[in-house]
Amino acid sequence: MSTHAAEAARRRTFAIISHPDAGKTTLTEKLLLFGGAIRQAGSVKSRKSAKHATSDWMTLEKERGISVTSSVMQFPYDGRIVNLLDTPGHADFSEDTYRVLTAVDSALMVIDCAKGVEERTIKLMEVCRLRDTPIMTFINKLDREGKYPIELLDEVERVLDIPCAPITWPIGMGSRLKGVVHLLTGEVHLFEPGKNLTRQDSTIYASLDDPALAQRVGAEVLNEVSEELVLVQGASHPFDRELYLAGLQTPVFFGSAVNNFGVQLLLDFFVEHAPPPKPRDASARVISPDESAFSGFVFKIQANMDPLHRDRVAFLRVCSGSYEPGGKAYHVRTGKEMRIGDALTFMASERGLAEYAYPGDVIGIHNHGTIAIADTFTAGEPLQFTGIPSFAPELFRRVRLRDPLRLKQLHKGLTQLSEEGATQFFRPLLANDLILGAIGTLQFEVVAYRLKDEYGVEATFEPAQVVTARWVKAEDGGALEEFREKAAIHLAIDATGALVYLAPTRVNLQMVQERWPKLRFEATREHA
Ligand code: G4P
């Protein structure tokens, strides 16, 4: 096996999906601790102080302040390289999350044992299902009273429609939590609050029948769990790796992230069974991670990540070959060679900054406005990775500038923020004003705030008479020209220069579509 194929095989690239407050941040931190990527608890947590900010967009603002490195956290564990891709928290930014999920090979679902399956988890699960993403489940906060474990499995199976294969099982819960039993090895790991429960630092019994265990936790609770396990084994499914990899079964773990409990059992199982990078569809053909020629796609763009450097970073997931410092790559959309030599890599510990990147890894390319979400980079072949979702804006506002002399800055700000994909901005052909489209109302607040903070522009947003946007395409150049003239009053140019029809009403759109059968009116500027 070539070096890069061997490197690809040991990559585990995943994201955590959960409802806010289930424990994603806490679990992330514990995983990094086990990976040796951070030395002490609190390093990740500190950004959660953002949660106590007064509004949601301020949360976003604080999150943006965190360093580039927390977008992708890479750490070695047990001979593997784990890449944990962060997903943004707020519901209004879910399209960002969707795109991150196109860049992972598997997901980890965190569920609060008291709350069970919550609304956002259901949505994220639907996204994972579109790509048959394999999912492991961690049921968290076992140190608190919650629903019965059997009930929780039942809820996951019913609500999320995925069979469960419990791998660990709790012994007691809340104040009576004694430990977990590993259903595949039979080992019992004791819950000892306050202890940093790594394998060396935890009490492990060979099985539930170990007399020393009965002495330690009492026979009664063990009898209870044995009875429960008879039920569980009858009602649930044995772990089947093929089914898991096909997204048709989820292995389930129980624990308490904040107590470090049950986390290492999860991580050990994860690195062993979670999938390495898979072949990916690039329209003309499927690309295998074993191929030596470099390829990858951009799934996220972020402007001004570091307020001091004002940089814009395009996050690229490597799909084949390898990235080396000093390298160049072919930017398929523009047809140009681009230097990507000074890309950022994401080893989470200070020691050993990864210089090379292999399939499954993510690199951050400095972007000067030429890179867009869903762009493909290759070693020269004109391929296009497919399946990166694009979202049509549903809300439109006219941008009002306080100081007309700042128009240039306004353009720059709107263009750069639109590259991130959450908003889109349109310049009407016949008017001087600007229209901003977004998916959620919160976006307008965010844009106003960021324009002021990052570009020194004060702008407000007013209602605009636009209900929806359609990207206008045609094979017939003549028809397009004619349309451009006749419908100019409703036409605009987007940030990439594409022609867009801004429909004042649904009825108007329907009429226009009927009147111009040679034109195509597309709901999104297709990413793929
Ligand atoms: P999130 O990223 O999914 O939103 O959740 P986060 O990790 O921030 O956890 C949400 C809250 O749940 C935090 O409390 C966290 O300490 C707590 N938590 C996480 N894991 C466990 C667990 O295993 N048991 C218990 N009992 N609590 C847990 P908080 O009060 O919001 O924040 P903090 O002040 O404790 O940091």
**Centroid of ligand 1 to alpha carbon of 52 (angstroms):** 13
- Helices 24-34 and 263-273, packing angle to 10 deg: 70
User: What residues are designated binding site for GTP?
Assistant: 18-25, 86-90, 140-143
Q: CA–CA separation, 72 vs 368, rounded Å?
A: 21
**Ligand 1 and 124: CB distance under 6 A:** no
Ligand 1 atom at minimal distance to the Cα of residue 261? 23
CA distances for 167 relative to 240, 252, 271, angstroms: 11, 6, 14
Ligand 1 atom at minimal distance to the Cα of residue 28? 7
**Centroid of ligand 1 to alpha carbon of 123 (angstroms):** 21
**Ligand 1 and 144: CB distance under 6 A:** yes
Which residue type is seen at 525? R
Residue 287 burial (10 A CB sphere; 0-12, 13-18, 19+):
buried
The SS3 of residue 159 is helix
User: Are the C-beta atoms of 293 and 337 separated by less than 8 Å?
Assistant: no
Ligand 1 atom at minimal distance to the Cα of residue 19? 3
Residue nearest to atom 29 of ligand 1 (CA): 21
**Which pLDDT value is given to residue 205?**
94
Tell me the per-residue pLDDT of 145-154, one tens digit each, with 9 for 90 and over.
Answer: 999 999 999 9
Tell me the per-residue pLDDT of 433-454, one tens digit each, with 9 for 90 and over.
Answer: 899 998 878 888 888 988 998 8
**Which pLDDT value is given to residue 39?**
54
**Which pLDDT value is given to residue 342?**
78
**Which pLDDT value is given to residue 436?**
96
**Which pLDDT value is given to residue 388?**
81
Ranges in the chain, pLDDT < 70: 37-70, 89-94, 196-200, 304-310, 347-354, 526-528
Tell me the two tokens of residue 149: 């474990």
- Choosing from 43, 48, 112, 259 the residue with most ligand 1 atoms within 8 A of its CB, the one to mutate for a pocket test is 48
User: Are the C-beta atoms of 135 and 107 separated by less than 8 Å?
Assistant: yes
pTM of the model: 0.84
**Ligand 1 and 173: CB distance under 6 A:** no
**Ligand 1 and 143: CB distance under 6 A:** yes
CA distances for 507 relative to 184, 286, 518, angstroms: 61, 42, 19
Residue nearest to atom 17 of ligand 1 (CA): 23
User: Are the C-beta atoms of 144 and 112 separated by less than 8 Å?
Assistant: no
